[in-house]
């Protein structure tokens, strides 16, 4: 599992306020979204979300991580846009070869 996938899943869970809604938005099973969150929390060694059957809230660590993760993800998306935009523009000299009578 990609660390980035886990982080993106956490961001969607935090934004939607629900693992079920996040899973639906991501097009994955609820169990997969929950597993991604658990793997991220285990890797970080911190609980990011307090979840019970009646309550869902970010922990202090979760709020801090969300802020930093959103900023990092925005920076990555910006970097991708920059490269994609730069490669889609034509640049450099254009050389055309044609027979002398056409010149």
Domain boundaries, the chain: 3-74
Q: With bands split at pLDDT 50, 70 and 90, how would you rate the model's confidence at 24?
A: very high
Q: Where are the beta strands (DSSP E) in 1-103?
A: 49-51, 56-58
d(CA 8, CA 85): 23
Burial class (CB in 10 A: 0-12, 13-18, 19+), 44: middle
Neighbour-count burial of 9, counting CB atoms closer than 10 A to its CB (0-12 exposed, 13-18 middle, 19+ buried): buried
Each residue's pLDDT tens digit, 39-66: 999 999 999 999 887 888 999 999 999 9
Class of the domain covering 3-74: mainly alpha
Tell me the pTM: 0.76
């Amino acid at each position: 599992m990609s660390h980035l996938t886990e982080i993106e899943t956490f961001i969607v869970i935090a934004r939607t306020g629900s693992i079920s809604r996040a899973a639906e938005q991501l097009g994955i099973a609820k169990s997969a979204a929950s597993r991604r969150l658990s793997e991220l929390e285990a890797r970080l060694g911190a609980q990011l979300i307090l979840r019970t059957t009646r309550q869902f809230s970010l922990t202090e660590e979760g709020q801090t991580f969300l802020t930093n993760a959103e900023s990092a993800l925005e920076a990555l998306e910006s970097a991708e846009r920059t490269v994609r935009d730069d490669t889609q523009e034509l640049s450099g000299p254009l050389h055309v070869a044609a027979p002398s009578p056409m010149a």
